Chain A
Amino acid sequence: MAAAMNIASVGKSFPGVKALSDVSVELNAGEIVAIVGENGAGKSTLLKILSGDYTLDEGSVHLGSVDLSGATPLEAREAGFRLVRQEPEIVPFTSALENIFIGELPRRAGGRVDFTAMRRAAEDMLDRYGFRGLIDLDQQGRTLSPAQMQLVEILRALKPGAKVVAFDEPTSSLTLRETERLFDLIRQLRDDGLAVVYVSHRLHEVMEISDRVFILKDGEPTGNLPIGETDQDEIVRLMVGRNLDSHGMQREPITGGEVVLQVENLSSRWHDDISFEIRAGEIVGFAGLVGAGRTELAKVIFGEYARTGGTIRIAGEAKDIRSPSDGIAANIGLAPEDRKGEGLILVRSVIENACMAVFHKLSRWGFLRQNEMLDTVRPLVRSLDIKTPTLDTEVGKLSGGNQQKVVLARWLAAKPRLLILDEPTRAVDVGAKAEIYRLMDELARSGLAIMMISSEMPELLAMSDRVIVMHDGRISDPIPKSEATEERIVNLALGTAA
């Protein structure tokens, strides 16, 4: 078979993280290759390098004889690499037809758009791939169903010149029947001699559709196997197998504290009938895939998103939490996942950021008392070892680890009983990570209940006293630390558990 695309020793780093290292794989014409891996394994990074969204640091990418190593998105597209994105960008107030040809509208002499040619080309594609009747080309973008949006995105990719087509989680918004139809299309593309890349969390789909599976773990390839020579168990093992030594962190399990958070039959737009509890001194880890509803659960508990049913009790007392300020009043703290977007005011000082949630407690008659602020923040800066030139330094000028500690300081200043940490070590370097783990352990020891959402398996296994796995807005039974294994968590998260 001819190698349509040749990816050789590709590496890519982001500040503090090695996202991909030494990734080599060949994509052959007439073959479907599945790329699998956990959250953060590097699948998206690899796709974005191929599509030209990111530029690689090392290695090379060739499509046929064209060198795409430093290609722009347009160059990659013209060479024949087409990415079907998970969440397609649809322009709401133009027709499906124009959405398909956006950026590449066929033109007549004189620069006017050739609508006739455009419609003919679209109808040809619909006929050829058996999609006629699934979409009205004159429909406005905003009225399309998720499956129709996906179809628009697919047709964008299949315009003439496609040689390699990559699907990123294409079935997440499709029904079973639509999925079958998509698979027929993918097989037809293969039989037409295209190279197809299929990225998915859903292993049973991978087993069904692909000819070969390429497995990534922590940015490194761990397997490249013909599908006939492997099974789901082996793939999971290759996805997760690693040494579980998480920076030497081992927590003594703590039990017997009073129940701090009790969630009963909670439901919301994302969740259905969720019940669990967290005790004082306990760290409960929340595992799951991106999009399983973990961040949303944290925000529902905190009052940022609406709760449609169920009760939340703090220390036995039912709390009607309808806004973040209610959440704070109920002694809950939330350090959000998106530190820069939702956590910090980057243009303001360390002291302001640290005091923000407790301004009213540090004031008399509306006037903030400078000394109270200093008395609150100084011990925290010391105990968290926040490295900052002065307390008046803008938070944006600190490193990632220190920024995260400022977020922690804000919530510790509020003296919460429940602290929710959403991806507490995202984008902090290894040294700062170990420090944040140490702090979490100390905080739990001092009697805080901690709800930790994490996509990092070693972190979950090392830090959690119990692990709860979320899948599609529902939660698993809590897994005690002694029984928590990577395989078990991944299977629950993928929804493949027996």
Chain B
Amino acid sequence: MTAMDQQSARPASPFKRIGTYVGAENLSLMIALVILIALIASQTEFFFSARNVLNIGQNMAVVGVIAVGMTLVIVSAGLDISVGSIAGCASVVCALLVVHTGSVGLGLAGGIAIGMVLGLVNAAIITILRVNPVVATLATYSAFRGVAFLIAPGGRPVGVLDPNLRFLGAGRLLQSDGFPGIPVAFLILVAVAVVAHIVMRTTVFGRSLYSMGGNPAAARLAGIALNRMKFQIYATSGALAGLAGVIVTARTSSGQPASGTQGLELEAITAVFLGGALMSGGKGTILGTMLAVTLIAVLSNGMNLLGIATFYQLVAKGLLLVIAVAIGQWRLARSERQQARAAARGGK
């Protein structure tokens, strides 16, 4: 009888089952989040007010949607630095479409579509021209931002006053006297994250993503078409960046070529690594990324409440990225040591 049979013969406790599903890395993120919240709340009473909590939800929507796409990219052992610039393009395209057609649906679809197209451009550069993803998307990071300014008439923000559009970005549900309402943008993030979670865990596409990230040579020999996967991955990342751009337009009532979408790539990448993904690919979860996005949103909210100057916040964001990747590398080194020990033990 194999060890597996013995294991499955004894039903695991519900706590253990939840623990296995959530994963040790995510549990430590949750603990870090609780500690952070306790620290901030002990300094300022306003933190726990309904208005502030819901503001955090509102603020994390844009970067959260992008981080979902970034999770796919990083798990596949790629990187997408151009997402902020794509969001800028999508913001402008969305505003122009709503201004000229009056249709919010068309604006939403157009913003997502332009994001997807730009994502396909990234994929083409990476697969057909065989440019390393970091370099390819660093190039389009600059190029797409330029495109955003070029399509905005005069390079200026495009004002768009449409109450339906505004609802997407700044609307609140279940608003009442004592309750500021749940931000619609936050609900969009939740929906995107849930769908992505299911896709990553249960679909052929999702599982192939982990395989190709973990070992591209083995994945190819198992029949996974790597280039087709890359087109799908970068198109998804682009489309989600497009959606983030639409949310920015909706919230600010203007198509913004730059403002509101700059630096999103850094925050999204930080969140994905902090959420347990590895530089080398093959690891990372939507749940982890979402916990990390929340942690970062709470941190920057806390820093604002405590009146910490923006310059310090920039330094803190950079530090956080280094810490996130360093933790991942440390975990990797530890598990490689375990593997070496297992190999040395031999057959049994």
User: Which residues of A are interface residues toward B (Cβ below 8 A)?
Assistant: 15-16, 302, 304, 323-325, 327-329, 334, 336, 341-348, 352, 355-357, 359-360, 363, 366-368, 370, 378, 381-382, 385-392, 394, 396-402, 410, 428-432
Q: Is the CB of A345 within 8 A of B211?
A: yes
Is B32 an interface position by the 8 A CB rule?
Answer: no
Q: B38-46, B103-111, B177-185, B339-347: which lies at the A interface?
A: B339-347
Q: Is the CB of B225 within 8 A of A397?
A: no
Residues of chain A with a CB closer than 8 A to B282's CB: 345, 347-348
Q: Is the CB of B221 within 8 A of A324?
A: yes
Q: Is the CB of B20 within 8 A of A392?
A: yes
Residues of chain A with a CB closer than 8 A to B218's CB: 336, 341-345, 356
Interface flags for B1-27 (1: CB within 8 Å of A; 0: not) read 011110100000000000010000000
- Residue with the highest number of chain B CB atoms closer than 10 Å, among A327, A342, A431: A342
Is B223 an interface position by the 8 A CB rule?
Answer: yes
Q: Is the CB of B207 within 8 A of A390?
A: no
Q: Is the CB of B221 within 8 A of A396?
A: no
Residues of chain A with a CB closer than 8 A to B207's CB: 352, 355-356, 359, 368
Q: Is the CB of B211 within 8 A of A356?
A: yes
Q: B80-88, B198-206, B234-242, B305-313: which lies at the A interface?
A: B198-206
Q: Which of A363, A381, A428 contacts B347 (CB 8 A)?
A: A428
Q: Please list 5 pairs of residues, one from A and one from B, whose beta carbons are closer than 8 Å in the complex, sorted by A's number.
A: A327-B223, A356-B207, A356-B211, A368-B203, A401-B347
What interface size band does chain B fall in? 35 or more
Q: Is the CB of A410 within 8 A of B203?
A: no
Beyond A389-B3, A410-B222, whether A396 also contacts B204 by CB under 8 A is: no
Is B335 an interface position by the 8 A CB rule?
Answer: yes
Given contact pairs A345-B219, A368-B203, A388-B4, a sample of 9 additional A-B residue pairs in the complex whose CB atoms are under 8 Å apart: A15-B346, A323-B223, A328-B222, A343-B221, A347-B283, A381-B2, A387-B2, A388-B2, A391-B4
Q: Which of A357, A378, A382 contacts B223 (CB 8 A)?
A: A357
Residues of chain A with a CB closer than 8 A to B338's CB: 396-397
Pairs of residues from A and B, 6 with the lowest C-beta to C-beta distance, nearest first: A345-B214, A325-B223, A356-B222, A396-B339, A328-B223, A359-B204
CB distance from A108 to the nearest CB of B (A): 38
User: In the complex, A429→B345 CA distance in Å?
Assistant: 10
Q: Write the chain A residue with the least CB distance to B212.
A: A345
Residues of chain A with a CB closer than 8 A to B3's CB: 387-390
User: In the complex, A327→B339 CA distance in Å?
Assistant: 31
Q: Write the chain B residue with the least CB distance to A325.
A: B223
CB distance from B23 to the nearest CB of A (A): 11
Interface positions, chain B 214-230, Cβ under 8 Å from A, are: 214-215, 217-225
Q: Which of B7, B221, B339 contacts A397 (CB 8 A)?
A: B339
Q: Is the CB of A385 within 8 A of B2?
A: yes
Residues of chain B with a CB closer than 8 A to A356's CB: 207-208, 211, 218-219, 222, 224
